[in-house]
């Protein structure tokens, strides 16, 4: 398993090693020991699986606030998506900045997103599935989000028009109106 730090502190790109033959492949997608050796000591408690039928479906930018903030380990189970994390940690030198990675069933890449980030994605193929681990259970009272097309964040989703935007995502607040409950602790 290869683990690389991304340009925003706390984000990691993880490339599981695949063992393949004419039947397909096998990959270890999570190892507490290997991730801990890289400094990722998150205890995951919940797995989520989402299907988006149409390409261009945007979901996000979502987060859970403290005391139920979530770190996530995200991968694509089928299809292809562009996954995005936005730094929402007050005091961070990259506050409001985003990083994105193409995740696909074919490339097997994973994105580790610590608590304190907004998370979203856009699908690139029909019937795309996203599978991710969370470090805390779903807590509706802590559920939050920012507008997916906020001009201050300016995510380049790589699409001319989004489809399947939920009312919740379309009406989410802008970064300029957001009082972040997250604080940057200078983590690597």
- Reading the chain (188 residues) residue by residue, the pLDDT tens digits are 999 999 999 999 999 998 999 998 898 899 999 999 999 999 999 999 999 999 999 999 999 999 999 999 999 999 999 999 999 999 999 999 999 999 999 999 999 999 999 999 999 999 999 999 999 999 999 999 999 999 999 999 999 888 889 999 999 999 999 999 999 987 55
Residue carrying structure tokens 């149409």: 54
The CATH architecture to which 2-183 belongs is Sandwich (2.60)
Q: Point out the catalytic residue in the list 49, 119, 132, 137.
A: 132
Predicted model pTM: 0.94
pLDDT for 187 equals: 56
pLDDT for 134 equals: 98
| Token pair in block for residue 64 | 């859970």
Segments making up each domain of the chain, as ranges: 2-183
Q: Is residue 132 among the annotated active site residues?
A: yes
Q: Is residue 112 among the annotated active site residues?
A: no
pLDDT for 185 equals: 87
What does the alpha-carbon distance between residue 36 and residue 120 come to, in Å, rounded to a whole number? 25
Strands (E), the chain: 2-5, 12-15, 18-21, 24-27, 46-52, 58-64, 72-78, 80-87, 89-90, 98-104, 110-113, 117-123, 128-134, 143-145, 182-183
């Amino acid at each position: 398993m290869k683990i690389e730090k991304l340009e925003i502190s706390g984000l990691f790109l993880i490339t599981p090693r695949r063992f393949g033959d004419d039947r397909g492949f096998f990959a270890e997608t999570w190892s507490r020991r290997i991730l801990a050796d890289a400094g990722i000591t998150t205890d995951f408690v919940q797995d989520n699986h989402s299907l988006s039928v149409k390409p261009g479906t945007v979901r996000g930018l979502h987060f859970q606030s403290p005391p139920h903030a979530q770190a996530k380990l995200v991968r694509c189970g089928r299809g292809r998506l562009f996954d995005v994390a936005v730094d929402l940690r007050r005091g961070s030198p990259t506050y409001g900045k985003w990083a994105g990675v193409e995740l696909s069933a074919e490339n097997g890449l994973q994105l580790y997103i610590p608590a304190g980030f907004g998370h979203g994605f856009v699908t690139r193929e029909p019937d795309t599935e996203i599978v991710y681990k969370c470090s805390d259970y779903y807590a509706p009272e802590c559920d939050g989000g920012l507008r997916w097309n906020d001009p201050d964040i300016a995510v380049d989703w790589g699409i001319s028009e989004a489809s399947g935007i939920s009312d919740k995502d379309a009406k989410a607040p802008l970064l300029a109106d957001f009082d972040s409950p997250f604080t940057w602790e200078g983590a690597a």
